[in-house]
Structure 1
Amino acid sequence: MYTDYKYVQECLKRIETQLGWGDAASWHNDVFIELSERIHQETQVLLSPTTLKRIWGRINYKSAPSISTLNALAQFAGFQNWREFKTSQPEEKPSRFRKIIDEKVGVIMLSAAFMTIVFISLFSLSDPERPAIDPDRIEFTSQPITGDLPNSVVFNLDLDGIESGDVVIQQSWDETRTVRLEPGQTQATAQYYYPGYFRSKLRIDGSIIKEHDLFIKSDGWLGTLDYSPIPKYFSEAEVVRGGLRLPEDALQELMSREDPLVSAFHYVNDFGPVSGDDFVLETSIRNIYHEKWAVCQRVNLLILGSRSAIIIPFSIPGCISEIGVMMSEVYLGGKENDLSGLGIDFSESRDIRIEVTDKYIQVFAEDTLLYSGSYTQSIGRIAGFRYRFVGAGEVSKLKLMDSGGKVVLDHNFN
C-alpha cells in the first residue's frame, strides 16, 4: 500500500458522490470510458480507462499513481491540484495516550508476528497440498432471461468438493466486470445493459477453471442514449429512417442538455467464422450535432470481437489530444501519441474504410491513409459493431467483407 493510498481513496469517494453513478463496484467498461472522457473535458488531462480501473482497484496494480494522474483526479474533484486536496483533509493527530498504547501494541505485534511465522513453518511441514481442481467435475453454464435489453443472465454452478473462499465469475473479456460468490452458492445473476459477445469465465483462487460464450444480440440495429447506469433504448424501426439516426424527439432531448451525453448505434449478430484480425469494413459517417459540449465531433467506431475489441476514434483536428485508439491489448492515448491523422471534420458525410490484415490495421478516409498500427492478441471472431457519438450522428452505410473479399454484411440506409 503506497503512502497516499488513504488520500486517494478519499478523493475517489468524492468523485463517486459528485458523479452520482451508483456504487463504483458495479461500473462496467463503458462507464470507465465515459469517466475518462469527462475527466479530460474538465481537466484537459487524458487518463485512459485502464488507468482509471487500476486506481479504482478493478485491475491488480500495486504501484502508486503518478503525480500528473493525482493532479487530474484532484482537479476533477474540485481542487486546484493534489497538494491542495491533501492539505484540505483533516490530519489525525494521535493523543499521548494513543502514542503509549501504540508503542506497547508494536511490541506485542512484533512478538505475535514472530510466533505466527514459527507456527506457519511448523504447520506447513505436515499440511498436505490442496489437490488440483478437475474442471470436468465443475458445472458452469449461463442463460439469459429475455431476448431484450436490459437483460439479466443467470449463472448456474456446481462446485461440489471445491474448498475455496475466492470464487469469481468474470462476465466478459473485461477483467473488471466480476461477480464474487459466497461458499456454497450455486446460482448468481448479472445485469447486461448493452448487446455484445461476452466470454464468461469462472475463476477459482485467481485461475481460470472454466469458461463459455455468452451472446447477447441486438435484434437488428439498436439505438441508445447512454445514460448511466441504464441507457435509453430505440428499436430498429425507430432509428433506420433514411439513414441510421436517432428519432427527432431523442435528438431534441440530447441537444437541450447542458452536460455531454453519448448516443450510440449497435449491431450485434452471428457473422459466422469471420476473423476480427483479417477483414475490410466500409462505412459512411456524419456528425449532426456539434454545438456546445459536442463541438469536438468525437466519434468512436467499435469492432466487437469474441475475445476483445478494436476502437477507432475520430474528432476535429483541434481535439485529437482527447481521443485514444484501442487495438485489442494496445491502448494509445492522444496525449502521448500522434493521432493527428484521425482528426477530420464530420460535418459532411465521410467515407471511412478500415482494413485489417493479420492484426495490422489501416484506416482511410476516402483514399487518404489516416492511421496504421498493429497488435498481437487476437480479438477473435467478429461479433458486432458500435458507433458512439459524443453528441449525435448519422450512418448511411456499413459493409463488411472477409479476408477473401466475400461480402458478409451490406447495409445501405439511404
Structure 2
Amino acid sequence: MSLYPEHILVKKCLQLIEDELQWGDSNTWHNKTFIELSEKIREETSILLSATTLKRVWGRVKYNSTPSISTLNTLALFAGFNTWRDFKTNHETTKNKVWFEKKMNANSYIIIVLAIIFALGFISIYSMIDSSKAKPKHDFSNIKFSSKPVTNSFPNSVIFDFNLDNIKSDSIYIQQYWDVTKTIKIKSDQKQATGIYYYPGYYNSKLRVDGKIIRRHDLFIKSEGWVGTIDYKPIPKYLSEKQIKNDKMGFSEAILNEIKKSGKPLESTFHYIDDFGNISGDNIKISQSVKSVLNDKWAVCQNFKIVVLGTEGAIIMPFSKLGCVSNLDILLSNNVYSGKKHDLSAFGVDLNENKAIDINIKDKTVSVFVDNRKIYENTYHKSIGKFVGLRYRFLGAGQINTIKIEDLNKNATVLECLFSNDN
C-alpha cells in the first residue's frame, strides 16, 4: 500500500474490519472475497464500495492516491464508527508518532528481536496466571437494547432503552438506520437516549461498542394509512390521507405551486407502511397506474421511484425520461445496479401520460412490466423479509390513479385503491 499521509490510520481501520470478519489473512483473499466484502458492506451500511475500490484500499491493486473521504467514511462506518473523523478522533496518530516510527524503521531488525524477547517473557508470565480468572475486555451477555415511539404522528421521537452493564468505552453509538448521519453517541453511564424519525418505515437500529454490533432492534413506525410528504430538508411537510386522496392520489394546486416555486430540486412522496401480517416480500405483485405532473426546470427528467419495503431489505424500481436513465439506480435487496454501469434504457418512460406499471416478485425473481410489456427481469438472493409497505417518490410531483397489491403465495389481494380517473 502506498504511504499516503493517513496510511497508518487506514491500516488500523482495515485491521479492525479484518478482526471482526475473521476471514483470515487479507493477503490470501481472492477476488471473490472482495466481492463478498463489498456485498457485506452494502448490506450493513447501504453504501456500495466496489470490489475494485476495496482491493485498492487493501493494497492489492497498485494505486498511489489517498482513498476518497466517502470511501473512508464508509469503511469507518462498517468498522463501527460514525464517520472517518470519528475514527480518527479515537485512533489519531500524531506527527510525533509518525516521526518515531520512521526512526524505528531504521533499526527494525533490533526492534523485532527485542519484541520477540519481550513477547516470550510476557507469555511465560501470563501462562502462570489462572486462566479461569481472565476476563474478556467486555462482556455483552447482559446487555439489553429496545426502543419505542412516543406518538403515532410525524415527526416521531423514539426512546431507546439500554443497559450497558458497566461497560467502559468512549466508542458507544446507536445507529438509527443505514444513514451515516443518523447516529447517536452514548456515554457509558447512560440508560436512555432519544432519536427523531421524520418518515414512517421499518428501521433496523443497532447498538455498537468499540466497532462491534452487540445488539439490534427492529423499530416499526407505521404511517396509519396514506401519508404524503414534501421532502424538505431536514424536516418534510406532511399531508394527511384526506389531503392527498380524492379522484386520485395527488396534491392540490396550492401544493403543486409550492413545489414549482422551489429553486432547488424537491422530491415528494406517498407512503403506506403497515403490518400486513406474514406476507412475503419475495412473493408479491404490485400494480399501479402513475403519472408525473411536473416536467420543467429541475423536474424535467420526471424521475420516479417505486420502493417496496420489507423487514430485511427493499426493492427500488426507478423510472425517468429516456434521456435521463444514466442517473437511475435499481436496488434488489442488497444488490445495486447503476445506470452508469448498466443499460437501464428500458426504464426510460414518458410519464406525461398515465402508465400502468406492474412489479412481479416471485421467489426472489423480479419482473417489471410497463403497459403490459416486460421491460426487465432479474434475480436477487437475500430475502427482503415480510412485506411492510410502499413508497412512491417523485422528483417534483406526481399522482397515483390505481394501486393493487397481491400476495402470490395465497393468491389474495392485500390492498386495493381504485380512484375514479377522469384524466
TM-score class, shorter: 0.7 to 0.9
* 1:268 is the counterpart of 2:273: yes
What's the % identity of the aligned pairs? 39
C-alpha deviation, 1:204, in angstroms: 3.2
Q: Counterpart of 1:378?
A: 383
- The answer as to whether partners of 2:46 and 2:178 remain within 8 angstroms in 1 is no
Tell me, yes or no, if the aligned pair for 1:150 and 1:194 is still in contact at 8 Å: yes
Give the conservation status (yes or no) of the 8 Å contact 1:53–1:176. Answer: no
Matched, 1:138 2:143: yes
Alignment partner of 1:405 is 2:416: no
Give the direction of change, closer, same or farther, for the CA distance of 1:310–1:109 in structure 2 (3 Å limit): same
SS of alignment partner, residue 289 of structure 1: coil
**Does structure 1 conserve the Cα–Cα contact (< 8 Å) formed by 2:166 and 2:189?**
no
Write the deviation string for residues 305-333 of structure 1: whole angstroms up to 9, x where unpaired. 11111110001111111111001110011
* Correspondence 1:63-142 to 2 at 5 A: 106-107=102-103, 126=126, 128=134, 130=136, 133=139, 135=141, 137-142=142-147
**1:107 Cα shift?**
3.4
Correspondent of 1:291 among 292, 296, 309: 296
TM-score, reference length from structure 2: 0.71
Within the candidate set 268, 278, 281, 2:286 is matched to 281
| Deviation larger for 152-161 or 385-394 | 152-161
Deviations 1:22-64 (A, max 9, x none): xxxxxxxxxxxxxxxxxxxxxxxxxx99897869xxx9x9469
Show structure 2 runs of 5+ residues with no match. Answer: 7-41, 71-94
The AA in structure 2 aligned to 1:284 is S
Q: Counterparts of 1:182 and 1:167 in 2: how far apart (Å)?
A: 7
**Do the aligned partners of residues 236 and 129 (structure 1) sit closer, same or farther apart at CA in structure 2, a change above 3 Å counting?**
same
Using the alignment, how far apart are the partners of 1:102 and 1:132 within structure 2? 30
- Structure 2 Cα separation of the partners of residues 193 and 158 of structure 1: 26
Distance, in Å, in 2 between the alignment partners of 1:5 and 1:304 is 42
Does 1:316 find its partner at 2:321? Answer: yes
Measure, in 2, the Cα distance between the counterparts of 1:325 and 1:110: 52
Amino acid at match of 2:363: D
Within 2, Cα distance between the matches of 1:190 and 1:324? 29
Q: CA deviation at 1:232?
A: 1.1
CA distance in 1: counterparts of 2:266 and 2:284, whole angstroms: 31
- Number of the residue aligned with 1:247: 252
* 1:332 partner letter: Y
Cα distance in 1 for partners of 2:98, 2:64 equals 32
Q: Match for 2:354: what amino acid?
A: S
| Letter in structure 2 aligned against 1:184 | D
Deviations 1:326-357 (A, max 9, x none): 01110011010011111111111111111111
Q: Tell me which of 203, 206, 214 is aligned to 1:201.
A: 206
**Distance in 2 separating the partners of 1:247 and 1:120:** 74
Question: Which residue in 1 is equivalent to 2:29?
Answer: none
Aligned match for 2:228, one of 223, 226, 229: 223
TM-score by length of 1: 0.72
Q: CA deviation at 1:140?
A: 1.2
Give the one of 131, 152, 175 matched to 2:157: 152
RMSD after superposition: 3.8
Counterpart amino acid of residue 258 in structure 1: G
Task: Provide the residue aligned with 2:216 in structure 1.
Answer: 211
Which residue among 305, 308, 330 is the counterpart of 2:310?
305
How many residues get paired? 342
Checking the alignment, whether the CA contact within 8 Å between 1:173 and 1:308 is kept in structure 2 is no
Distance (Å, rounded) in 2 between the aligned partners of 1:367 and 1:154 = 46
Deviations 1:119-138 (A, max 9, x none): 77765763935177454x22
Report the AA paired with residue 145 of structure 1: V
Instruction: Tell me by how many angstroms 1:207 deviates.
Output: 3.5
**Local SS of the residue matching 2:103:** helix
Are the equivalent residues in 1 in contact too, given 2:306–2:390 (CA < 8 A)?
yes
- The one of 225, 235, 238 equivalent to 1:233 is 238
SS at match of 1:271: coil
8 Å CA contact 2:138–2:167 kept in 1: the answer is no
Alpha-carbon shift at residue 108 of structure 1 (Å): 7.4
Query: Residue 293 of structure 2 aligns to a residue in which SS?
Result: strand
Q: Distance in 2 between matches of 1:413 and 1:283?
A: 11
Q: 1:351 and 1:159, CA in 2 relative to 1: closer, same or farther beyond 3 A?
A: same
* Cα deviation 1:228-259 (Å, max 9, x = unaligned): 11111111111112111122221101112232
More deviation, 138-147/110-119? 110-119
Offset of residue 201 of structure 1: 2.5
> Are 2:168 and 1:172 aligned?
no
Distance in 2 of aligned mates of 1:310 and 1:280: 12
1:14-33 maps to which residues of 2 (within 5 A)? none
Q: Which moved more, 1:235-244 or 1:62-71?
A: 62-71
Q: Secondary structure at the match of 2:352?
A: coil
The one-letter code matched in structure 2 to 1:393 is: G
Partner of 2:30: none
Q: Mean Cα displacement is larger for which, 116-125 or 188-197?
A: 116-125
The 1:164–1:246 alpha-carbon spacing in structure 2 relative to 1, beyond 3 Å, is same
> Does the 8 A contact of 2:57 with 2:67 survive in 1?
no
Determine the structure 2 residue equivalent to 1:19.
Answer: none
Listed as ranges, the gaps of 5+ residues in structure 1 are 7-47, 74-98
